[in-house]
């Protein structure tokens, strides 16, 4: 499943290996989606899935190998920063007062090659300086990202699924489009969550990544109930 990184977030496609969004709507008895509605839902769910998978990947309780992944990713980020820091003096050349003859030769050869490149339309020194400033920004971003990963602690409970409220908002949006109240009821005979809104929550889980799904019907009911309560508080406030 392809993921698209964006500023401060991530977006992923729906998990349609078992079924499709259109099939889920049909099985739930919901009215067919217009093209704009389908685009809206895919965008909303895509952002939720992207956020959730990022959280799961670095949360030890949700991903057994999260600790190893975190260490590897942080190490790669730091390696990128180190590589730039190691080669920055060579790229900047005489600007930073290089003294070693072989270092001066490296810098000069880079400049001569850039000067002969028709795509480089500015002075090689300026081109390298501009490039180094951009690489320095990237290097600093790598270090910040590595520190964030290394300082992140394993989260559990509600915080570990803080993406769920946005997921619930989309369920509410779908329900309202179909004249369904965003309310859970309980099947007293079986003592399990039920109702049309819960059916939507249960059905839409099928297009989420399996790692995001609740472990049981009861667990999903609790997630949805708590999320609806939080959203109600936010709306009232």
135-168 pLDDT, tens digit per residue, is 999 999 999 888 877 775 544 344 546 789 999 9
Handedness of CA 235, 218, 43, 9 (dihedral sign): positive
pTM for this predicted structure: 0.57
Q: What is the pLDDT of residue 24?
A: 96
Of 164, 173, 144, the closest CA to residue 221 belongs to: 164
Distance CA 34, CA 200 (A): 18
Q: Which run of H or of E encompasses 115? A: helix 101-115
DSSP 47-108: HHHHHHHHHHHH-TTT-TTHHHHHHHHHHHHHHHHHHHHHHHHHHHGGGGT---HHHHHHHH
More confident residue, 98 or 78: 78
For residue range 36-59, list pLDDT tens digits in order.
999 999 999 999 998 888 777 655
């Amino acid at each position: 499943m392809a993921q698209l990184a964006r500023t401060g977030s991530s977006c992923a496609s729906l998990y349609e290996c078992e079924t499709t969004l259109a099939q889920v709507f049909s099985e739930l008895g919901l009215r067919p989606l217009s093209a704009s509605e389908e685009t809206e839902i895919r965008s909303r769910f895509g952002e939720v899935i992207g956020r959730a998978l990022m959280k799961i990947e670095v949360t030890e309780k949700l991903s057994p190998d999260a600790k190893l992944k975190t260490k590897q990713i942080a190490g790669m980020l730091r390696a990128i920063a180190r590589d730039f820091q190691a080669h920055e003096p060579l790229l900047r050349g005489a600007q930073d007062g290089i003294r070693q003859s072989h270092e001066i030769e490296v810098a000069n050869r880079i400049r001569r090659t850039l000067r002969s490149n028709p795509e480089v339309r500015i002075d090689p020194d300026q081109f390298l300086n501009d490039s180094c400033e951009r690489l320095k920004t990237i290097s600093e971003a790598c270090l910040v990202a590595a520190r964030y990963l290394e300082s992140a602690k394993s989260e559990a409970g509600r915080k570990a699924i803080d993406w769920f409220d946005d997921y619930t908002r989309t369920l509410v949006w779908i329900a309202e489009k179909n004249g369904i109240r965003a309310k859970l009821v309980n099947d007293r005979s079986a003592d399990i969550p039920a109702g049309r809104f819960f059916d939507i929550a249960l059905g839409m889980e099928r297009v989420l990544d399996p790692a995001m799904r609740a472990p049981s019907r009861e667990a999903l009911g609790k997630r949805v109930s708590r999320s609806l309560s939080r959203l109600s508080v936010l709306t009232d406030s």
